[in-house]
């Protein structure tokens, strides 16, 4: 294609796409992959937000349900908001967790990401302000900007990345429409402990809370998962987003859900039907089998991840110049690397280029992530051991 044609295509892009840039987090992934290809060097990958290795696969009954559903002919369009039996199962689960839920309040979506996208595009108007945690989950910012809204950053404060409630109050203006929280938080894995106080503030100002709870089953005892939607009289003011990706290791199935006030769900359903139409029926039937079938697999996975978390936290804390908080949940740690004297990006580049270890620089999630790296530990033990060994040697060599 000639460069003139390319220029014309660029000119044709809408003004709404002007903020489209490749996410910083992908830069780490691309760099690790490119180095592997160019040099043949074996890179250990801790930069992706996915599971790796044979111990992390969906339980056999989930595969069987997916295969049977295809075989039985569940390959046509189905109702947009989701199969009634799956919406009921999700409603039952949310009710048992603490948010009484009816079928009409559930939308089955193409993963949590699409639930977040639809929530933001359905609610955020030109000029609306959305308070967003810093560090946070960049795709949320992307859609707020696309909708013409303004991202207002709420700093999460170390050591445990809690909201500063006074600072949160000070960010509220008459234009504030929504607050986004994720608990356990990405990228640091800490749960949000101030749910009652945050609900109180949002009630006072009529602010909707979009609560991303994709790691709801990956919270390690003695901590427990709590949702702002359980707070008395707050369920209609919250939109809960969750997924099958993490709980059931179904990242590639692309299925999640959203629970909110029934009218809002109807609006989001119209959005969904005019975009992806519906989540494939055979994928929904796999989700139904996951949610209503045996849950031992989930418990085993959580126990396995907790042991891996403990191993990496201890290993990071043994390295001079690195301090690692013990996250309450998720499959990430977010160690503080400031003692190495490097910035997050310098350290991430150094690790991948010179020691073959892929991680993400913490500032990919906002400037409050500077001085940290995000490391995904949902990997085989021997890879984690080798990775931690390489990182220790890398810091020693500085
Ligand atoms: C905070 C957060 N929300 C949403 C998602 C997307 O999840 P899903 O695979 O269900 O789309 C991710 C993916 O890692 C995430 O980290």
Q: What is the DSSP letter of 253?
A: G
Stronger pLDDT, 18 or 396, i.e. the higher one: 396
Report the Cα 200 to chain-centroid distance in Å.
Answer: 25
The pTM (predicted TM-score) of the whole model is: 0.95
Confidence of residue 20 (pLDDT cuts 50, 70, 90): confident
Nearest in space to 366 (alpha carbons), one of 155, 177, 210: 155
Query: What is the total residue count of the chain?
Result: 398
Q: What residues flank ligand 1, with Cβ below 6 Å? A: 49, 111-113, 137, 182, 186, 212, 214, 243, 245, 251, 256
Is it the case that residue 6 has pLDDT exceeding 70?
Answer: no
Atom number, ligand 1, closest to the C-alpha of residue 251: 9
Per-residue pLDDT, 202: 98
How far is Cα 334 from Cα 374, in angstroms, rounded to an integer?
5
What confidence tens digit (pLDDT) does each residue in 79-108 have?
Answer: 999 999 999 999 999 999 999 999 999 999
- Say yes or no to pLDDT of 2 above 60: no
The ranges assigned to domains in the chain are 3-56+297-396, 60-292
**Peptide bond preceding 135: is omega within 30 degrees of 0, i.e. cis?**
yes
Fold of 3-56+297-396: 3.90.1150
pLDDT of residue 14: 87
* Residue-wise pLDDT tens digits, 164-217: 999 999 999 999 999 999 999 999 999 999 999 999 999 999 999 999 999 999
Query: Is CATH 3.30.470.20 correct for 60-292?
Result: no
- Strand residue runs (E) in the chain: 44-45, 106-109, 129-134, 150-157, 162-163, 176-182, 208-212, 238-243, 256-259, 332-333, 357-358, 360-361, 373-376
Q: Which two tokens stand for residue 171?
A: 């960010």
What pLDDT is recorded for position 24? 73
Mutate to test the pocket of ligand 1, among 134, 137, 276 (most ligand atoms within 8 A of CB): 137
Q: What percent of the chain has a predicted confidence (pLDDT) above 90?
A: 88
Residue 9 scores a pLDDT above 80: no
Confidence of residue 249 (pLDDT cuts 50, 70, 90): very high
- Give the largest Cα separation in the chain, rounded: 61
110 φ, ψ to 5°?
Answer: -80, 70
Q: Which of 25, 52, 113 most suits a substitution to test ligand 1, by most atoms within 8 Å of the C-beta?
A: 113
Q: Which residue has the higher pLDDT, 8 or 274?
A: 274
393 CA from centroid of ligand 1 (Å): 32
Q: How confident is the model at residue 41 (pLDDT cuts 50, 70, 90)?
A: confident
Q: Provide the mean pLDDT of the chain.
A: 95
In ligand 1, which atom is closest to the CA atom of 116?
4
CA 338 – ligand 1 centroid, Å: 28
pLDDT for 218 beyond 60? yes
Ligand 1 pocket mutation pick from 114, 189, 210, 243 by most atoms within 8 angstroms of CB: 243
pLDDT digits (tens, 9 = 90+) for 307-356: 999 999 999 999 999 999 999 999 999 999 999 999 999 999 999 999 99
Helix axis angle for 381-396 and 344-355, nearest 10°, is 110
Average pLDDT over residues 129-141: 96
Residue 20 CA to ligand 1 centre (angstroms) = 19
Q: Please tell me the residue having the least CA distance from ligand 1 atom 7.
A: 112
Residue nearest to atom 13 of ligand 1 (CA): 49
């Amino acid at each position: 294609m000639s460069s003139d044609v390319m220029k014309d295509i660029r000119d044709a892009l809408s003004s709404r796409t002007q903020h489209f840039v490749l996410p910083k987090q992908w830069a780490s992934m691309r760099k690790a992959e490119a180095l592997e290809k160019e040099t043949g060097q074996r890179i250990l990958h801790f930069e992706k937000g996915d599971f790796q290795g044979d111990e992390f696969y969906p339980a056999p009954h989930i595969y069987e349900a997916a295969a049977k559903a295809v075989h039985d002919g569940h390959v046509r369009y189905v109702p947009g908001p989701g199969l009634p039996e799956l919406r009921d199962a999700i409603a039952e689960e949310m009710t048992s967790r603490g948010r009484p839920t009816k079928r009409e309040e559930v939308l089955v979506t193409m993963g949590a990401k699409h639930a977040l996208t639809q929530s933001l595009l359905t609610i955020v108007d030109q000029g609306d302000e959305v308070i967003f945690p810093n560090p946070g989950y960049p795709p949320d910012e992307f859609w707020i900007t696309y909708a013409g809204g303004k991202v207002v950053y709420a700093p999460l404060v170390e050591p445990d990345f809690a909201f500063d409630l006074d600072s949160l109050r000070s960010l509220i203006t008459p234009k504030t429409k929504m607050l986004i929280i994720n608990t356990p938080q990405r990228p640091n894995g800490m749960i949000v402990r101030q749910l009652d106080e945050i609900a109180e503030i949002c009630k006072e100002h009529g602010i909707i809370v979009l609560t991303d709870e994709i790691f709801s089953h990956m919270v390690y005892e003695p901590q427990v998962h709590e949702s702002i939607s359980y707070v008395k009289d707050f369920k209609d003011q919250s939109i809960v987003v969750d997924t099958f990706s993490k709980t059931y290791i179904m990242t590639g199935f692309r299925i999640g859900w959203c629970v909110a006030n029934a009218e809002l769900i109807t609006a989001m359903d119209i959005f969904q039907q005019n975009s992806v139409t519906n989540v494939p029926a055979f994928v929904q039937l796999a989700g139904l089998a996951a949610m209503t079938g045996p849950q031992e697999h989930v418990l085993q996975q959580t126990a396995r991840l907790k042991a891996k978390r403990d191993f990496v936290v201890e290993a990071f804390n043994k390295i001079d110049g690195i301090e690692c908080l013990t996250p309450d949940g998720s499959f990430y740690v977010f160690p503080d690397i400031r003692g190495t004297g490097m910035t997050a990006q310098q350290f991430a580049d150094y690790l991948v280029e010179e020691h073959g270890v892929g991680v993400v620089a913490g500032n990919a999630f906002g400037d409050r992530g500077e001085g940290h790296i995000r490391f995904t530990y949902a990997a085989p033990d021997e890879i984690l051991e080798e990775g931690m060994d390489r990182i220790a040697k890398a810091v020693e060599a500085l």
